Structure 1
Amino acid sequence: MEYYGNRLCISMRDLVDGGIMSEPNYKQLASRGRFDVVRRGGGAAGCYALVAVDSLPQRYQDKVNEVYPGGAQARLEGWIKSNYEVDQAATAFFFDKGKCGVALTADKAKEYITNASVLNTCIKLYERASTAQRLFGGKYDWSMMATTIETLRKHFGHTLPASTLRFRKKVNDYKANGYACLISGKFGNQSARKVDHKTERLILGIAVLPNKPWNTNVLELYNSFVTGELDVYDPETGELFDPEQFTDKNGEPMVLSEATINNYLNKPKNRVLIEHRLSSYTTFMHEQMPHMHRHHGEFSLSKVSFDDRDLPRKLKDSRIRPKAYYAYDVTSGCCIGSAYNRAKNVDLVVDMFRDMFRLLDRQGWGCPAEVEVENHLMSQWRDSFLRAGVMFPFVRFCAPMNSQEKHAEQFNGAKKRSIEHRNHIGIGRFYAKSRQYRTESVKVFDELNDTYVEKEYYTWDELIADDLRDIYEYNHALHPNQKKYKGMTRWDVLVANINPTLQPLDKATIARYVGERVSTTIRRNSYCRVAGEDWWLSKTEAIELLAPNDYKVEAYYLTDAEGKITDMFIYQGDMYIDRLDNVGTFCTARAEQTEKDEQVFVEQRKKISHFNKYIEDHAIARVGLSERDSAAETVEPEEVPVPVEEPRETQDMGFTDDYAARALADL
């Protein structure tokens, strides 16, 4: 017999001479197509007819096996060769590190692909009962299959086991677990476990004890437990662990080595679980947890970030560090607001907002589109001033103790490392790795044994003045992204990229929440007295918003850096009433009157004239009254005389122009 086209064949002469069938019988079966003649005889010298063995009727196949022993195995080899196909799914699996879990070399991946393809062919034959019965002459013969696969090792280049039992086990493992079972244990995928899952969890449970034991201590505690010297229990349920469940196959205590303990405790998946149990929330979050990856916006004032800090140097009088609060534009990194206090309190935050809004108002910029705030001091305004849409369109409250979320934390660090460390001494951390950034203190060996003396102390004015100079230098230093903003400082980037869609500053809302507040009363329907000065209503119509029989209002005002009032607003409860104007006063002595006095006089006359016009426009007309008699006679109503308006005196102050007439004309 021989192979022709990957099919096991037998010649016509071997069939006849071997006594399997007669020549007439052969010709009759061939003419009827009862078997496949894969090659015709005749023609070229030595060319003889070949018949596919697997196409012969079963009784003739049985005679072929009797006359020519080994033919069944040859037919099986032929079938495997003709049905073998490279598994494309296996190719995609073993060449993809993400799917198979390890980085395989090209040769090793090809080896595993071949093994999978050979196993697929074996399983295909197993599932085709009729084909298997014809090839094996009965039920599926694992011994013949294993022998055949072994003889094809050189042909395919596979590395499947030669033993029948091991080969059969590999086939079943492959059917149950797929491609992963073909990967060698040396690649860390299917390696035999030194300990089972239960033992590994016990080791990890010991490793996360509150005293944070070393690996050697974990080993000692584990070995003491399995040898019966130590009881281990579940603190939640109180259940004792049974040492008899932690034995090897011989029933002996499973005593582990130090290397095994180290290997299991240092596995990346175990390492992170141990850190989670032993580390604080903030430590685990900053060192182990994944973090968000971000980039800054393109426009200034699209987002402003706030944060507090302690100035690094101490005061001479109280031995404490002043508290500072900063506002940073995220795009440029500029500090656009700052405030200082001896305590971290609400006043510190309010002063910072005031300083920021003064800068925005001075520069003519709009209100920031979004603010990024912390929870500690800002949460009191969550439902009022810092509710989205009240003052700022967008508001983000950062997670508590998550300093990496706030951009201001990064800017504080950049300012400290780049500017403060260069300008002052004693700037750094006592635990810093770099000696240039490490600070040292002199310890006092007293009964407390926890007292340290700073090398230098400073006055309040010195520290605040130094920090303001540092802020100016920081703002006017080159922007860190010189590839994008070549030659531009942080301040240049801030000014050049103001967001064009910003809303104008709502000074009334700003004053109400971060301005100064004082209770006052509207007098003579025209003004309020605040801080020793008279502030006029912008128009008389404002009194229409007052509650009945209530002239008391709350005045909120903004000041400049020198404390001078710049804007005044009055509210009655939550109702906004009006913005007030400080018209001023004029001198009554004509010999001392100046141009400003005339301007003040004109403004006051305008407001009084507007008041008179309001009264005229809303004057109440009288009505006539008469009693109705029993005869229902018509009674003419009395004629009500209309008062004649007396001419107004307009030159009562002796000025040359008729300012009253001019004021009325302006209306």
Structure 2
Amino acid sequence: MPVLLSNNKVGVYREELIPDFWPNWENLRKQITRDSRKDFGLRKISSGGNGRSLLLDYDSLPSEIQQQLPDPRRVDHILERYYVRDHEAVDFYTSFKTEDGLNLLPESQNRYIINASVMKALVQLKQAREIERSSKGGSLRGILNTLATDAETFKSVMQAKYGYTHNLPTSKRFKGAFRSFRKDGYISLIKDVKGIAKRNALKVTEETVELLNNMFAGQSNKPNPTEIHIQYNAFINGHLQVINDTTGEIYDPKKFTALSESSIRMYLTKWENQIGTHAVRNGDRQKLMTKFTPYHSFEQPTLAGSIISVDDRQPPFEYEKGKRMWFYNGIDLASEAFTVWVYGKTKEGIILEFYRQMVRNYDEWGFNLPAELECESSLNASYKDTFLKEGNMFQYRQMYANKARSKRIERYYGELRYKLEKEREGWLARPFALSESNQISNVPKMTVPYDRLAQECLKDIVTWNNMEHSKIKGKTRWEVFCENQNPDLRATNYKAILPHLGHKTGSSCNAGITRLNSRLWLLGDEGTIQTGEPLVHLMKQVEGREFDIYWLDGNDGHILKAFVYVDGRYICELLPKPRPNKAKIERTAEDEELRAIMTRYEATVNGFMRTQKNQLDTVTILDNRKKTLNNKFQIPGIEEFDPTKNMNSETIVPPMDEPTYEGEEEFINYRNPANDL
């Protein structure tokens, strides 16, 4: 994309022009050579060679090319170049005390900080304009008037971009306020230095420029400058009333003078006015941003996994009349390979399944999740404070609101549409495609069965990933993805994402074993079955209790990860119960290791049982409480039992201690270890 240079020149790399505007470098080089002998045409800012890239002057390009390449000198508002939150103003107003010893109210502090920050921006803008006019031999008169206009039009930009605006005075009062700020600094903006509360009356500007802007931008039928001129003449002649919908003010025609149509047109078409009025009138935000908003240009990442760009799309095919399927895809920007894809007939629920599929795919391939996510906000905003919060699933997150050109995947979608999908039956052309070859043809529209359409779209992804990388020649996109992974990627943090992405199942733990999806699981952590003291610690928290299990299945249908949570707190990881071969003759080294793990697991529980048992002492309880009120009722012949009279009592001999049994159930003389307790 074009780049802004220090001398306010805009340069265009030749890669931006080939092949969209010139078929190859040879044709472009010849055009540059021919134009160098003319007083007009293409002009070079810098020549290529010795490690430098060829730069062409943006202003020398034909107008039709300039319309398709954005000019980075265009911004939403001139003050955005200078406006920043003034930290010195923050320190001043948060510490300022009125003469009666009171600090400013929080809302007053915020208002003064915003006003001071805008004033600082206006001071810088004034200096820039003085330098520019002086360098061109222009007059310095009237600069304050332009600053007043900029300050006023900046209000709507601030409100839209930051959610707040300033309340600096306008028109003639602005000049006094501006001079006072330059002379006295921050204190000049405080209206109640002595601590006497006052509420200033709302000031409504009466300048002609404001009226013209309001008339041009404030009518739903979007009048052109000629219509504004007709309305304005009718207004000053008393045939038409203009009312400010915001303030309710009826503009007084006696305060305005007649203007010619050319004057009105000249003013309304000035950039500093268009940028505000068009922001109100324009219903196509993408076109508005293309015309006024500068955007960043970045180099393509070189390591796979550094950033993934995701977005939804509808392939240009109908599976039924008027119905198109939805895809949500993710593409690795370094390798250009599609790494995640889900689809359906609607977008409902597709976003959660997309991120689940991302975890499944990357785990199956043995790669860590990407470090950064680039996405749109419409479907992702509801998850920005859960698994999409920076540091959870991704280290970094770029979420764009209605800024299609900010997502790199949009460019790849264009290539997918015209290089692969266009060759298939049922392809639908865009209604207003610029290229004739991409416009609607005379071939009748046809529908493609849903299942067939899904398979063909997946085959396009396979073809895409196996195509040659745009920069690394001789390597496919998939090969670049697999062979060029970023070594600094962190391990996938399942604990941060599974409570939001995983499926939830209630279960319990019995004898250290949990049942989930008809399988038995043991307690562990970090991929290892716990034994010894760590296992005892876990069993104290979950044994015999109900708890929640958050789990996610892999592409093979088996459980990928499963975590236990009690009252929202992570407790442990569940791992499959070892199942070695029962027949000794068939056991492998892996079977022996599995058997050893289960033996240690069992021994831990049995050992803790013995420890707890051995800590217990025998007690005798003598209960002297009376159960009756009196002994008035008796049955004759009943005597109290006297143990000293029982001569036939047998001596109870305690059993001998026996060694602890450590065998498995395959022993013929199997004995329950609990009998040893």
Could you say which TM-score interval applies, normalised by the shorter chain?
A: 0.5 to 0.7
Deviations 1:572-597 (A, max 9, x none): 33333333343476898x8xx99379
- Give the 3 Å change call, closer, same or farther, for CA 473–183 of structure 1 in structure 2: closer
Q: Say if 2:398 is the partner of 1:407.
A: no
8 Å CA contact 1:542–1:577 kept in 2: the answer is no
- Residue aligned with 2:378, SS: coil
Matches within 5 A, 1:454-493: 455-480=445-470, 482=471, 485-493=472-480
- Give the 3 Å change call, closer, same or farther, for CA 290–646 of structure 1 in structure 2: same
Deviations 1:278-326 (A, max 9, x none): 113724334322222333333221122222222332233x853222211
**For residues 567 and 246 of structure 1, what CA distance do their matches in structure 2 show?**
74
**For residues 617 and 571 of structure 1, what CA distance do their matches in structure 2 show?**
24
Structure of greater Rg: 1
Correspondence for 2:565: 571
Correspondence for 1:40: none
Q: Say if 2:225 is the partner of 1:234.
A: no
AA matched with 2:222: K
Report the count of equivalent residues: 442
- Residue aligned with 1:376, SS: helix
Cα deviation for residue 498 of structure 1 reads 1.3
**For residues 511 and 234 of structure 1, what CA distance do their matches in structure 2 show?**
54
Matches within 5 A, 1:24-39: none
8 Å CA contact 2:466–2:476 kept in 1: the answer is yes
Cα deviation for residue 500 of structure 1 reads 0.8
Correspondence for 2:279: 276
- Give the 3 Å change call, closer, same or farther, for CA 189–492 of structure 1 in structure 2: farther
Cα deviation for residue 555 of structure 1 reads 2.7
**For residues 666 and 589 of structure 2, what CA distance do their matches in structure 1 show?**
11
**For residues 617 and 259 of structure 2, what CA distance do their matches in structure 1 show?**
112
Cα deviation for residue 511 of structure 1 reads 4.1
Correspondence for 1:53: none
8 Å CA contact 1:325–1:349 kept in 2: the answer is yes
TM-score by length of 2: 0.56
- Give the 3 Å change call, closer, same or farther, for CA 403–594 of structure 1 in structure 2: farther
Q: Say if 2:606 is the partner of 1:615.
A: yes
Matches within 5 A, 1:390-539: 390-396=392-398, 398-439=399-440, 455-480=445-470, 482=471, 485-523=472-510, 525-537=511-523, 538-539=529-530
Matches within 5 A, 1:51-90: none
- Give the 3 Å change call, closer, same or farther, for CA 292–609 of structure 1 in structure 2: closer
8 Å CA contact 1:511–1:557 kept in 2: the answer is yes
- Residue aligned with 1:457, SS: coil
8 Å CA contact 2:550–2:563 kept in 1: the answer is yes
**For residues 508 and 388 of structure 1, what CA distance do their matches in structure 2 show?**
14
AA matched with 2:447: Y
- Give the 3 Å change call, closer, same or farther, for CA 256–594 of structure 1 in structure 2: farther
Correspondence for 1:204: 213
- Give the 3 Å change call, closer, same or farther, for CA 487–179 of structure 1 in structure 2: closer
Correspondence for 1:544: 537
Which residues of structure 1 form unaligned runs of 5+? 1-95, 99-176, 191-195, 248-253, 443-453, 629-639, 661-667
**For residues 411 and 178 of structure 1, what CA distance do their matches in structure 2 show?**
44
AA matched with 1:204: N
Match of 2:314 among 310, 314, 319: 310
Cα deviation for residue 415 of structure 1 reads 2.5
8 Å CA contact 2:352–2:501 kept in 1: the answer is yes
Deviations 1:527-557 (A, max 9, x none): 2222222233334544533537742232333
Correspondence for 2:202: none
Matches within 5 A, 1:621-640: 621=614, 622-623=616-617
TM-score by length of 1: 0.57
AA matched with 2:296: M
**For residues 132 and 577 of structure 2, what CA distance do their matches in structure 1 show?**
89
**For residues 315 and 405 of structure 1, what CA distance do their matches in structure 2 show?**
30
**For residues 416 and 468 of structure 2, what CA distance do their matches in structure 1 show?**
12
8 Å CA contact 1:233–1:241 kept in 2: the answer is yes
Which residues of structure 2 form unaligned runs of 5+? 1-5, 9-129, 144-170, 172-205, 524-528, 623-652, 673-677
**For residues 520 and 656 of structure 2, what CA distance do their matches in structure 1 show?**
34
- What do you get for the CA RMSD once the two structures are aligned? 4.4
- State percent identity of aligned pairs: 23
**For residues 273 and 597 of structure 2, what CA distance do their matches in structure 1 show?**
81
**For residues 436 and 206 of structure 1, what CA distance do their matches in structure 2 show?**
42
**For residues 231 and 417 of structure 2, what CA distance do their matches in structure 1 show?**
47
- Residue aligned with 1:377, SS: helix
Match of 1:370 among 357, 369, 372: 372
**For residues 340 and 179 of structure 1, what CA distance do their matches in structure 2 show?**
55
**For residues 223 and 387 of structure 1, what CA distance do their matches in structure 2 show?**
56
- Residue aligned with 2:520, SS: strand
- Residue aligned with 1:463, SS: helix
**For residues 312 and 336 of structure 1, what CA distance do their matches in structure 2 show?**
21
Higher normalized contact order (CA 8 Å, seq sep 6+, divided by chain length): 2
**For residues 432 and 419 of structure 1, what CA distance do their matches in structure 2 show?**
17
8 Å CA contact 2:305–2:334 kept in 1: the answer is yes
Correspondence for 1:56: none
8 Å CA contact 1:522–1:551 kept in 2: the answer is yes
**For residues 320 and 503 of structure 1, what CA distance do their matches in structure 2 show?**
41
**For residues 183 and 610 of structure 1, what CA distance do their matches in structure 2 show?**
85
AA matched with 1:357: V
Match of 1:325 among 309, 317, 328: 328
